[in-house]
């Protein structure tokens, strides 16, 4: 099949001018579409969805809105505009011109970084593939599908890099990205958080708030890369990732608002009987998704992270704005460690603590969103506060893996944890209750009773707009 690349796959990388790359993508695209139909949003392939499509990097082309069937979505490949005379801003190669091709000595590490990022994109689509059947409104259904198609486009972005710069190895890795599947016992996704089920809309909102926020920081650190095509790709991806986090933050905020409204109206915290999600359950979902997302940053002290920084492959968040020498050769910092039976710290070279530096940036960002949720409770006169659990809580990777800590940071025995963890994490009963509320509300302009309506529509459209034509 011959593809008109400028029409079918909008791009600013001159796909039409590279015959070798054309052939590679001609072979990959049908497999991607097969994967989308098999593993993507279940049951909605023939429905027209009001989607934002990037057709160029220009202000008028970045956000082109219109109704489109998802299998016909124009998954484009875009790099942010190049920076004139850009140089490497950190590590041993600081001050050198950035690379437009892959240096041989960094080929393996760069491929690993791109493959890991690529793997997360289809994974989240797979995790969310059944959610459309329980959407609380057409507005939310559209937002789910917008997130899904953009994750698909982000896979295209990484696959382009693999095909364009890594030869046969890249083509093989691009194929494998469609062969691993979320939660598959034989061929799971690379990172643990992307093998967890997203079974309900509260989990979806938490995922897009916390786990997509991890994605923001990972992309931002790759956007500093000395490999300029990767840096430019990630900078453009970040513009789309912002919407995913908005979906999460505003979604949880609307859940909290509806719960607060019922609590105030009936003067009780026991609101399940009124068909809304109680604050304790919301807190448990926060505890789970936050702790799982913390693990995505890796170990507190990491020689791999140090090597990526030293080589110029992966920087810090807003690297260029940090006021230091961008080499970290002489600096030491304290990072978390299990010390004398509880959470403590120890001193390591700053260059080994880059995972933790990124995790701390993530925590500060998460805290700001939590404050906005709590403001909703305050406005309803409710004293209860939602909070982030201690960073040692429910960790499976790093210094606190294998140790038991309560959400407030108190160490407990593994036996006590086994008896009490259901106080802090969603139970099967909690999930069943939330699932019982997940009835679709597809009437135009209506919203399910467990969530507040959105404050505004999309792209200036009214609340009763037909965002998905069912």
Q: What is the CATH number of the domain that holds 317?
A: 1.10.620.20
* Number of neighbouring beta carbons within 10 Å of residue 30: 10
Q: How much is the average pLDDT of 218-246?
A: 96
Percent of the chain with pLDDT over 70: 98
Q: What is the pLDDT of residue 25?
A: 87
- pLDDT at residue 344 is higher than 90: yes
Helix (H, G, I), strand (E, B) or coil at 191: coil
- pLDDT at residue 1 is higher than 60: no
pLDDT grade for 389, boundaries at 50, 70 and 90? very high
Q: What is the pLDDT of residue 6?
A: 63
| Mean pLDDT of the chain, nearest integer | 95
Domain that holds residue 449: 5-469
Cα distance between residue 34 and residue 40, in whole Å? 9
Q: What is the pLDDT of residue 55?
A: 83
Based on the structure, what is the number of domains in the chain? Answer: 1
Q: What is the pLDDT of residue 56?
A: 82
Structure tokens, 367: 């805290």
In Å, what is the CA distance from 406 to each residue of 34, 166, 297, 461? 44, 45, 21, 45
Q: Of 204, 131, 212, 152, whose CA–CA distance to 32 is shortest?
A: 152
pLDDT grade for 4, boundaries at 50, 70 and 90? low
Cα distance between residue 332 and residue 334, in whole Å? 7
Cα distance between residue 80 and residue 307, in whole Å? 26
Instruction: Choose the weakest-confidence range: 26-35, 423-432, 447-456.
Output: 26-35
Cα distance between residue 96 and residue 418, in whole Å? 54
Cα distance between residue 127 and residue 38, in whole Å? 13
- pLDDT at residue 219 is higher than 80: yes
Q: What is the pLDDT of residue 2?
A: 56
Q: How much is the average pLDDT of 175-189?
A: 96
- pLDDT at residue 185 is higher than 60: yes
pLDDT grade for 27, boundaries at 50, 70 and 90? confident
Q: What is the pLDDT of residue 23?
A: 85
Helix (H, G, I), strand (E, B) or coil at 411: strand
DSSP secondary structure letters along 295-342 = HTT--SS-HHHHHHHHHTSS--TTGGGS-S-SS-SS-EEEEEEEETTE
* Number of neighbouring beta carbons within 10 Å of residue 365: 15
Q: What is the pLDDT of residue 146?
A: 97
Q: Which residues, 6+ apart, have CB-to-CB distance to 423 below 8 Å? A: none
Q: What is the pLDDT of residues 40-95, one digit of tens each?
A: 999 999 999 999 998 888 766 778 899 999 999 999 899 999 999 999 999 999 99
- pLDDT at residue 197 is higher than 90: no
Phi/psi for 213 (5° steps) reads -70, -35
Cα distance between residue 357 and residue 302, in whole Å? 11
- pLDDT at residue 231 is higher than 80: yes
Q: What is the pLDDT of residue 237?
A: 94
Q: What is the pLDDT of residue 352?
A: 97
pLDDT grade for 3, boundaries at 50, 70 and 90? low
* Contact status, residue 240 vs residue 150, Cβ threshold 8 Å: yes
Q: What is the pLDDT of residue 9?
A: 81
Q: What is the pLDDT of residue 5?
A: 55
DSSP 231: H
Q: What is the pLDDT of residues 325-343, one digit of tens each?
A: 999 989 999 999 999 999 9
* Contact status, residue 314 vs residue 225, Cβ threshold 8 Å: yes
Q: What is the pLDDT of residue 400?
A: 97
Instruction: Choose the weakest-confidence range: 51-65, 359-373, 428-442.
Output: 51-65
Query: Which strand (E) or helix (H) includes residue 53?
Result: strand 48-53
């Amino acid at each position: 099949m011959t593809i008109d690349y400028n029409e079918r796959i909008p791009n600013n990388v001159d796909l039409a001018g590279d015959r070798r790359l054309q052939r590679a993508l001609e072979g990959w695209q049908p497999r991607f579409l097969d994967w989308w139909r098999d593993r993507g949003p279940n049951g909605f392939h023939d429905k027209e969805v009001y989607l934002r499509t990037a057709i160029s990097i220009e202000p008028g082309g970045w956000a082109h809105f219109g109704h489109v069937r998802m299998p016909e979505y124009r998954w484009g490949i875009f790099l942010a505009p190049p920076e004139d005379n850009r140089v490497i801003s950190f590590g041993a190669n600081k001050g050198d011109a950035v690379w437009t091709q892959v240096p041989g000595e960094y080929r393996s590490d760069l491929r690993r970084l791109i493959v890991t990022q690529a793997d997360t994109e289809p994974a989240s689509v797979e995790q969310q593939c059944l959610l459309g059947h329980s959407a609380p409104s057409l507005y939310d259904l559209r937002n789910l599908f917008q997130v899904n198609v953009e994750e698909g486009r982000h896979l295209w972005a990484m696959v382009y890099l693999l095909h364009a710069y890594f030869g046969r190895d890249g083509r093989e890795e691009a194929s494998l990205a469609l062969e691993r599947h979320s939660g598959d016992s034989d061929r799971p996704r690379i990172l643990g958080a992307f093998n967890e089920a997203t079974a309900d809309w509260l989990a979806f909102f938490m995922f897009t708030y916390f786990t997509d926020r991890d994605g923001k920081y990972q992309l931002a650190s790759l956007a500093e890369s000395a490999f300029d095509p990767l840096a430019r790709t990630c900078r453009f991806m970040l513009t789309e990732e912002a919407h995913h986090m908005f979906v999460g933050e505003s979604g949880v905020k609307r859940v909290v608002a509806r719960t607060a409204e019922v609590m105030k109206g009936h003067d009780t915290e026991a609101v399940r009987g009124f068909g809304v999600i109680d604050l304790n359950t919301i807190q448990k979902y926060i505890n789970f998704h936050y702790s799982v997302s913390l693990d995505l940053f890796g170990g507190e002290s990491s020689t791999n992270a140090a090597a990526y920084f030293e080589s110029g492959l992966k920087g810090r968040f807003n690297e260029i704005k940090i006021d230091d020498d961008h080499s970290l050769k002489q600096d030491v910092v304290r990072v978390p460690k299990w010390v004398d039976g509880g959470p403590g710290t120890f001193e390591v070279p700053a260059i080994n603590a880059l995972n933790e530096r990124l995790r701390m940036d993530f925590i500060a960002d998460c805290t700001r969103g939590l404050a906005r949720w709590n403001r909703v409770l305050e406005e309803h006169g409710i004293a209860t506060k939602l909070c982030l659990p201690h960073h040692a809580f429910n960790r499976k990777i790093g210094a606190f893996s294998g140790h038991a800590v309560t959400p407030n940071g108190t160490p407990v025995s593994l036996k006590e944890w086994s008896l009490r963890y259901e106080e802090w994490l969603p139970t099967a009963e909690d999930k069943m209750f939330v699932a019982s509320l997940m009835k679709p509300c597809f009437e135009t302009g209506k919203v399910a009773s467990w969530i507040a309506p959105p404050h505004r529509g999309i792209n200036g459209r009214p609340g009763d707009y037909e965002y998905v034509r069912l």
